[in-house]
Structure 1
């Protein structure tokens, strides 16, 4: 066992002593550890710092063992528990000297001084800490834990307010008798900021904004907790409303170490002119940096975005911390690779074409040197973890317009890039006729892929996709797989595949085959491959699978339940299930113990009597948490009876709904 392992074990032992309230043993252990570390020669300490991926010498302050500061802080906490505040204070001051850019020393020392009623000294301690840390961040770009830094700021402000009130009372006492100060029950006066964060984290943001008007203390304290806020604009927001919101969120963002807003979400601006100004503010306004940006507008597209970036000098300051980008645009995706090169920290990219307008390249600064570099630069790999690209169905290649850069692009983009960290991929309403080999090669470069969603894509059916998997042998293991075909093809029986093939599907827990063209034989073979792990299955509107009695395409529900023993969510919408088919379904349910918790029977030909029969006591069916029966003729009395008898906990029922697929809810097809 290495010296580092021994140190780690002793540290954990000391923590255990502390948690079990054996403070004497904890103190003894901390004394031994701190003495041993302080006895190490400087050369050894430098080597240890390297092993912790730290610089040999500290940026600010003396060079110490990486664990020394934490151990001294923990020993100070132990002294506090033993009532030895003088010793605890000594450790707190020592920690400040050893680690002048760590918040812990200032927080510990300030707390102890306040407890000794030395409020002015505590205030100066907090003030000193803020000055030194902010200077180090500015001069050396060091990283400081955001939560601790926010707590230090909050304690400084609270103590500053308290001292101001005390000075005012003392000044008034020189001319009149000092009145007895009324005790306050304000939680912000007594509770630390991290506790108040927990209290307010469950409150809707619109209510948090109302609490700003309680008093100045509440305003400054709440705005120092950035996690409570997301800049989500109301639909059709005006320019003045956006400017007012941006002003508030700039103030909130300044209380974070990264100086960033958590999220800016814009869903439609009032007019196109207002949109242009809003995007300009996002680019140019200092202090309006966002980690997550959602921008959806019928007037917006990538050409316009590139134009405005070029117009304002390609300023990326507000996008330096951008991790998630979600865009809703009005025409085909143009030069998508430029976005990857613009935003190097991007983890999630989602682009949805919400309108099928004709593309225009007039706005793109095609001759601009910086834009050329952005669109042509190639990296060996990109850091994306989630990629969602949704084309508009009218922009597929059966569109009457001629395909050109000035009309539309029906083909998927970015398939030539490498995303080794990608875990989730969604491609909807594209034409794969010219990109199948490229797509197969792309799949070999996403080894961590876990969720794959393919819907309404031309020139790629289930058979072609599975054959591609077999040929290219990607190394990923899927957990969720959705494949919804764009048109009806001949039934696919999967006779070309063996049970030992398609290892990429062995661990699937969610399988969505809505509108599939698998035959009964092909479907059951697929379940032989992945059924043991499947918990969520959707086979709605299957083209060659039916529950209708005496049909050539008939399948027994019992065969599905046998191959999927852990199934808890089952979708059977749009399957033309009638009352006779329900009788057989009831029999299948009664033959096998099952754990179906969510059952979707929407848009079938069954009535309330059939539903009641399913849950008769004579049947061996467990109670269902949720049953969905959208678009069916079922009376309210039947629904109430099902819930009153506790056959189901919740019935999801919408007579007005005209189809199962709803854009943005369970489908990306408009």
Structure 2
């Protein structure tokens, strides 16, 4: 019904704001949605509950008696989300009032008690929190025994643990209070008079106890020891020490080497100016840089060295001014690692803000930038050309300021200037990541560097990640990969027009990789099946893939037979991780016919060359059923070192088949328990089975969250959700 869909969309929007840390907008969305839900009459709500196969009424507790009431099915979730948002806004009293409403409407839903207990503990109200958890257990007991409500055991265990810990804490506080209360002293008047007379007769002087004074180690220790002692303190902790005394302030500020890392996260323009004034007070330190052309050392005596600095703006309207001031005021400093988050500015703006020939960028080795792309004014090349000593480059584009329809035309009309990106610029880079929000950025930043016409190699590049970009057309090949012969880790994910079959065609014809160890290729859509046909020179596949230790083909179009052929080109027993989650053309069977190219049958002995496999990921394989797990149990006995198995979101498999598979794995590994088993979203697996495997120590770490939100296409390890 529309009442459900509109509320669900509002919840999804508010959740997106919440995950983006935009708590104010999230709060407004949740409040407005709650008002909308409250405006529905009982008849409409009953129709909504019926459409969702809910019971007509919810049960709550009124005067210690259960009572049926009509509640919108999303009402408590909205209240829970609003309470979480108030917590993030540090409005815990308001969050507490919201949890009271949750409990009032659904007294037998223990999630409300859990959130209220956490808030009460955060407010320092331990006694009230203890009563809250006690009430929660009483409600859960009554709900289970009288109302047939099923509660996840982990919630009950969590509340019991909280209650026990609070009980210990309250008893400890009571004992400490009793210990601090002064005991009653009985004074004997006769004895007191005797002591006074004895003191007058002897005229004994009163002995005064003296206590040793404290040692001020900052002021009195030799200056050579202070950097050694304080080297483990963070910059924020050192700032607190500066306020102790003027002597501490003077001595600590004289050691520039102590201030190595600064995190300016969500700062205002005024706060940045205060930071710049603070830096100016630090005594400069000499930094030695080797000039590779002359072979001599250069001394930057006026430059203060910072190991790491990151900056982002609290107020979007101040962002450009803040970044400009940041670069302008830090020119007499140098840094090893620089992180900038400026989603409202473009990389073209950042390129303009850097002072030419300044000191700040000369020693930067690692750079991470979150910004927007402007296709009509490309600035990626100009920006990066200011950094001559880069080893690691992370570029994340979360938006484009030019409409998609015009950005492609502009990219086709004029290529970016790559004159500054010659061998001198590329020769030191070891890691390169280009990550885009595919829905907002419809181009390939720095794409001109990844063309077959570019003959400039990247001699030290070992890690390459490209995610969310748009290649020129659907038939784009990957011949540009020949520019990276020494790459060890390749991650290509969620790229429009990037087809796995085209990628494999390049590996079939050319010797691209000399030492590739980790390959991740994830398509953005399901393409036609790829079987990896035979080739006249099968050794070429072997030359490219023989060193692989990690193979991640999640959401690709590869078939079961194609995967079997591909793994045969990898050196025997070298593969340690295999991820084929969400591959719709792969399934495990006992037997198959010759024309069935999607099946991996037992007679293929698929895992025979994977005896060292440590991690197997089979998430969300839509066709996986108990029969497929049974076939997998027959085939997996070759593996002796498996430590992690992920079967998340396979909703048709049952606990019995999972149990049999785990037992088979344990037998193959000399009866060692499986280290990690993930069953998130496997709704057909009973929590009783999951708890039994943990209780019998068949599994060391079990993850089994039935109500966990489903993936869209990729897993939690996806760069798609890191931008």
Name the TM tier (shorter chain): 0.5 to 0.7
Q: What secondary structure sits across from 2:660 in the alignment?
A: helix
In structure 1, the partner of 2:677 is 627
* CA deviations over 1:273-300 (Å, ceiling 9, x no partner): 2442233222334444332221123202
2:347 maps to 1:302: yes
Q: What secondary structure sits across from 1:501 in the alignment?
A: helix
Task: State how 1:132-143 maps to structure 2 within 5 Å.
Answer: none
Q: 1:206 to 1:534 in 2, by over 3 A?
A: farther
Contact 1:512–1:539 (8 Å) recurs in 2:
yes
Task: State how 1:236-385 maps to structure 2 within 5 Å.
Answer: 236-248=266-278, 254-255=284-285, 257=287, 259-309=304-354, 314=356, 316-332=358-374, 334-358=378-402, 376-377=419-420, 379-381=422-424, 382-383=426-427, 384-385=429-430
Q: 1:615 to 1:194 in 2, by over 3 A?
A: farther
Contact 2:673–2:699 (8 Å) recurs in 1:
yes
**Match of residue 507, structure 2, among 456, 466, 469:** 469
| Aligned residue-pair number | 465
Q: 1:580 to 1:488 in 2, by over 3 A?
A: same
* CA deviations over 1:42-92 (Å, ceiling 9, x no partner): xxxxxxxxxxxxxxxxxxxxxxxxxxxxxxxxxxxxxxxxxxxxxxxxxxx
Relative to the length of structure 1, the TM-score reads 0.60
In structure 1, the partner of 2:145 is none
Q: What secondary structure sits across from 2:588 in the alignment?
A: coil
In structure 1, the partner of 2:546 is 506
Contact 2:471–2:498 (8 Å) recurs in 1:
yes
Q: 1:271 to 1:187 in 2, by over 3 A?
A: same
Q: 1:332 to 1:239 in 2, by over 3 A?
A: same
In structure 1, the partner of 2:699 is 648
Q: 1:645 to 1:216 in 2, by over 3 A?
A: farther
In structure 2, the partner of 1:539 is 580
In structure 2, the partner of 1:598 is 644
Distance apart, 1:269 and its partner CA: 3.2
**Match of residue 496, structure 1, among 505, 530, 534:** 534
Distance apart, 1:664 and its partner CA: 7.8
Q: Distance between the aligned counterparts of 1:189 and 1:513, measured in 2? A: 62
Q: What secondary structure sits across from 1:294 in the alignment?
A: strand
In structure 1, the partner of 2:660 is 613
Contact 1:260–1:287 (8 Å) recurs in 2:
no
Q: 1:209 to 1:642 in 2, by over 3 A?
A: farther
| Structure 1 unmatched runs, 5+ | 1-178, 361-371, 398-407
In structure 2, the partner of 1:522 is 562
Distance apart, 1:336 and its partner CA: 2.4
Q: 1:206 to 1:426 in 2, by over 3 A?
A: same
* CA deviations over 1:496-534 (Å, ceiling 9, x no partner): 335422212111111111112222222111111115221
In structure 2, the partner of 1:666 is 718
Contact 2:313–2:319 (8 Å) recurs in 1:
no
Distance apart, 1:422 and its partner CA: 1.2
Contact 2:462–2:489 (8 Å) recurs in 1:
yes
Q: 1:376 to 1:601 in 2, by over 3 A?
A: same
| Structure 2 unmatched runs, 5+ | 1-209, 288-302, 405-414
Q: What secondary structure sits across from 1:354 in the alignment?
A: strand
**Match of residue 232, structure 1, among 256, 259, 263:** 263
Q: Distance between the aligned counterparts of 2:328 and 2:488, measured in 1? A: 34
Q: Distance between the aligned counterparts of 1:198 and 1:598, measured in 2? A: 42
Q: 1:314 to 1:651 in 2, by over 3 A?
A: same
Contact 2:259–2:306 (8 Å) recurs in 1:
no
Q: Distance between the aligned counterparts of 1:295 and 1:254, measured in 2? A: 24
Task: State how 1:162-177 maps to structure 2 within 5 Å.
Answer: none
In structure 1, the partner of 2:129 is none
CA RMSD between the two structures: 4.0
Q: Distance between the aligned counterparts of 2:687 and 2:254, measured in 1? A: 48
Q: What secondary structure sits across from 2:324 in the alignment?
A: helix
Q: 1:446 to 1:619 in 2, by over 3 A?
A: closer
* CA deviations over 1:415-470 (Å, ceiling 9, x no partner): 23532221111122333346988952x43333321111111233332232122234
Q: Distance between the aligned counterparts of 1:276 and 1:616, measured in 2? A: 61
Q: Which has the higher strand share?
A: 2
* CA deviations over 1:178-203 (Å, ceiling 9, x no partner): x99857384996699689758864x7
Contact 1:356–1:392 (8 Å) recurs in 2:
no
Q: 1:515 to 1:411 in 2, by over 3 A?
A: farther
Distance apart, 1:481 and its partner CA: 0.8
Contact 1:335–1:375 (8 Å) recurs in 2:
no
Q: What secondary structure sits across from 2:633 in the alignment?
A: helix
Q: Distance between the aligned counterparts of 1:215 and 1:527, measured in 2? A: 66
Contact 1:252–1:261 (8 Å) recurs in 2:
no
Q: 1:593 to 1:563 in 2, by over 3 A?
A: closer
In structure 2, the partner of 1:573 is 619
Distance apart, 1:224 and its partner CA: 3.6
After TM superposition, the structure 1 stretch with the greater mean CA deviation from structure 2, 237-246 or 190-199, is 190-199
Q: Distance between the aligned counterparts of 2:698 and 2:539, measured in 1? A: 40
Contact 2:529–2:585 (8 Å) recurs in 1:
yes
Contact 2:341–2:369 (8 Å) recurs in 1:
yes
Contact 1:231–1:249 (8 Å) recurs in 2:
no
In structure 2, the partner of 1:422 is 461
Q: Distance between the aligned counterparts of 1:648 and 1:253, measured in 2? A: 56
Q: Distance between the aligned counterparts of 1:251 and 1:627, measured in 2? A: 54
Q: Distance between the aligned counterparts of 1:618 and 1:568, measured in 2? A: 11
Contact 1:259–1:289 (8 Å) recurs in 2:
yes
Q: Distance between the aligned counterparts of 2:366 and 2:448, measured in 1? A: 19
In structure 2, the partner of 1:657 is 709
Distance apart, 1:649 and its partner CA: 2.1
Contact 2:589–2:601 (8 Å) recurs in 1:
no
In structure 1, the partner of 2:518 is 480
Q: Distance between the aligned counterparts of 2:246 and 2:633, measured in 1? A: 64
Contact 2:227–2:258 (8 Å) recurs in 1:
no
Contact 2:489–2:517 (8 Å) recurs in 1:
yes
Task: State how 1:63-74 maps to structure 2 within 5 Å.
Answer: none
Contact 2:371–2:397 (8 Å) recurs in 1:
yes
